[in-house]
């Protein structure tokens, strides 16, 4: 019996797609006959007691600390063989690579994982390899950002070097906005560097896939929707088919980049823009995409077990790759106007539908909703599967037309004068 360790593998109720992803992986690993060891922080394991009954063992390990993970793994192996290690969170992928290297197991080289996790290093490497990239620079002061704008023009995007979930990402059009952007993205110019890059015009997509036998395989191309005026993702649809077979060009560019970077293992999520020059690669992730993309990809491929396929590849077993997707799925997020939630309509009528992959609303009357600055500021999810991506799009948009999260200015004595729909 093989033993697989999942670093950062517990997720409590309310953790959304992360909980569903972790449970799917654990169950698919167990169904293939493996022992599964789940590690996470003490708080996460305490908040998710069902993992203790599903997993063969649970251990308290900080998945954000690669050195601690390696120390624990080496000690654990003295008592029990370990055949594979994996993890699905953005902040666990470095620890996964370090543990795999320390134990001599299948995995990506740690230096490559650190490179793709550091946005400027990945931009530079992709550019050196000949892939289209926006102009970019590391900046630590307002003057640095102003110099970038003087050289490349605006608009530009200012972002942290290694954050996730659109946190701290700011668009600027003029030098006058540089100071505020630096404060948001870098928490002040004296605390570190931020990445400044050209704003790329064009619709955004991502490629979801898996490595098998050391080679990347694209499972679907996903269209991304942004909340107006933000970089926060408001929805996704997969698989998309574009005029002129541009979706195939996007998938090919993503897999070509993964090969060129030297990555060989895991589930991947590669972001890009489609421009008049062709695909321009964005961020590269050696973990599943968030926002229910793992469930949407499995829906699109009815015979696919995404994490079961990962399990087989990590253990050196043949992976049966699916053909083209045969169904479609769409997800939308509820992003109301900021303020005090004064009423919610239409939600109860939405739940219980057989075509729902997931529906969740985290806001209630009396809550205060802030501006949409990151994915954590969204207050609801509707994910739906259908016979095609177009049908899923139509169905989820129809459902959300009847869902209204009404807000009014926080602290207002009269809440009825300024109400907004989600």
Q: What is the CATH number of the domain that holds 95?
A: 3.40.50.20
Backbone angles phi, psi at 51, to 5 degrees: -65, -30
123 occurs within a structural domain: no
Which alpha helices (DSSP H) does 13-88 contain, by range? 17-31, 42-47, 50-54, 66-77
Cα separation values, 281 from 152, 210, 406, 413, Å: 19, 18, 38, 48
Map tokens 């049966």 to a residue: 320
Task: Identify the pLDDT of residue 50.
Answer: 85
The yes-or-no verdict on residue 415 having pLDDT over 60 is no
pLDDT digits (tens, 9 = 90+) for 89-114: 999 999 999 999 999 999 999 999 99
Closest to 39 in 3D by CA, of 62, 17, 23 = 62
Residues 213 and 322 in one domain: yes
Residues 78 and 160 in one domain: no
The yes-or-no verdict on residue 375 having pLDDT over 90 is no
Computed over every residue of the chain, the mean pLDDT equals 91
The yes-or-no verdict on residue 191 having pLDDT over 70 is no
183 occurs within a structural domain: yes
Closest to 184 in 3D by CA, of 151, 121, 142 = 142
Residues 342 and 395 in one domain: yes
Name the strand (E) or helix (H) holding 300.
helix 293-300
For the chain, the residue count is: 422
Q: Return the beta strands (E) in 48-176 as ranges.
A: 57-60, 84-86, 136-139, 156-159, 170-172
Compute the Cα dihedral for 238, 243, 249, 250 and give only its sign: negative
Average pLDDT over residues 192-212: 93
Residues 225 and 184 in one domain: no
237 occurs within a structural domain: yes
Terminal CA-CA length for the chain: 50
Measured distance CA(193)–CA(141) in Å, rounded: 8
User: Which CATH number characterizes residue 169's domain?
Assistant: 3.30.1490.20
**Could you list the residue range(s) of the whole structural domain that residue 285 is in?**
201-326
Residues 321 and 216 in one domain: yes
pLDDT digits (tens, 9 = 90+) for 215-238: 999 999 999 998 887 788 899 999
User: Which CATH number characterizes residue 280's domain?
Assistant: 3.30.470.20
191 CB-contact burial (10 Å; exposed 0-12 / middle 13-18 / buried 19+): exposed
Per the structure block, which two tokens stand in for 269? 């999520």
- As for how many domains the chain has, the answer is 4
Residues 141 and 99 in one domain: no
- Which among 326, 348, 379 is the end of a domain? 326
The angle at the Cα of 101, spanning 96 to 107, to the nearest 5 degrees, equals 60
pLDDT digits (tens, 9 = 90+) for 107-138: 999 999 999 999 889 999 999 999 999 999 99
Measured distance CA(42)–CA(292) in Å, rounded: 25
pLDDT digits (tens, 9 = 90+) for 379-403: 889 999 999 999 999 999 998 888 8
Measured distance CA(262)–CA(339) in Å, rounded: 47
Task: Identify the pLDDT of residue 163.
Answer: 65
Q: What is the pTM of this model?
A: 0.90
Measured distance CA(123)–CA(134) in Å, rounded: 8
Q: Are residues 357 and 383 in contact, defined by beta-carbon separation less than 8 angstroms? A: yes
For β-strands 3-7 and 35-40, DSSP reports them as: parallel
pLDDT digits (tens, 9 = 90+) for 145-183: 999 999 999 899 998 877 665 678 889 999 998 998 888
Q: Are residues 298 and 364 in contact, defined by beta-carbon separation less than 8 angstroms? A: no
119 occurs within a structural domain: no
Residues 95 and 140 in one domain: no
Measured distance CA(194)–CA(183) in Å, rounded: 10
Residues 336 and 321 in one domain: no
pLDDT digits (tens, 9 = 90+) for 270-292: 999 999 999 999 999 999 999 99
């Amino acid at each position: 019996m093989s033993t697989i360790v999942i670093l950062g593998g517990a997720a409590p109720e309310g953790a959304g797609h992360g909980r569903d992803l972790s449970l799917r992986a654990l169950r698919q690993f167990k169904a293939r006959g493996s022992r599964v060891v789940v590690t996470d922080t003490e708080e996460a394991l305490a908040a998710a007691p069902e993992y203790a009954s599903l997993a063969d063992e649970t251990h308290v390990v900080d998945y954000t600390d690669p050195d601690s993970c390696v120390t624990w793994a080496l000690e654990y192996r003295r008592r029990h063989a370990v055949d594979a290690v994996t993890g699905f969170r953005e902040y666990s992928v470095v620890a996964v690579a370090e543990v795999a290297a320390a134990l001599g197991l299948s995995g990506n080289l740690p230096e490559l994982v650190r490179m793709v996790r550091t946005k400027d290093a990945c931009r530079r490497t992709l550019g050196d390899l000949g892939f289209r990239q926006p102009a970019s620079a590391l900046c630590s002061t307002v003057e640095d950002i102003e110099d970038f704008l003087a050289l490349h023009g605006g608009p530009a995007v200012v972002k942290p070097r290694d954050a996730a979930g659109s946190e701290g990402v700011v668009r600027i059009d003029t030098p006058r906005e540089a100071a505020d952007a630096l404060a948001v993205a870098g928490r002040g110019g004296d605390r570190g560097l931020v990445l400044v890059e050209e704003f790329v015009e064009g619709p955004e997509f991502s490629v979801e896939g898996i490595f098998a036998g050391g080679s990347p395989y694209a499972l679907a191309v996903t269209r991304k929707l942004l909340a107006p005026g933000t970089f926060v993702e408001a929805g996704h649809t997969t698989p998309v088919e574009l005029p002129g077979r541009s979706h195939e060009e996007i998938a090919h560019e993503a897999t070509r980049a993964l090969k060129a970077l030297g990555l060989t293992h895991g589930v991947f999520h590669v972001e890009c823009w489609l421009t008049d020059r062709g695909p321009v690669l964005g961020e590269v992730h050696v973990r599943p995409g968030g926002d229910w993309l793992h469930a949407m990809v499995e829906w699109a491929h009815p015979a696919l077990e995404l994490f079961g396929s990962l399990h087989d590849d990590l253990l050196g077993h043949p992976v049966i790759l699916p053909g083209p997707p045969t169904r479609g799925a769409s997800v939308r997020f509820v992003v109301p106007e900021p303020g005090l939630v004064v009423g919610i309509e239409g939600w109860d009528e939405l739940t219980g539908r057989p075509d729902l992959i997931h529906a969740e609303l985290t806001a209630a009357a009396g809550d205060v909703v802030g501006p949409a600055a990151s994915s954590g500021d969204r207050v609801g999810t509707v994910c739906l599967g259908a016979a095609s991506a177009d049908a899923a799009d139509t169905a989820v948009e129809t459902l959300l037309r009847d869902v209204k999260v009404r807000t009014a200015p926080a602290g207002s004595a009269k809440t009825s004068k300024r109400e907004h729909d989600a």
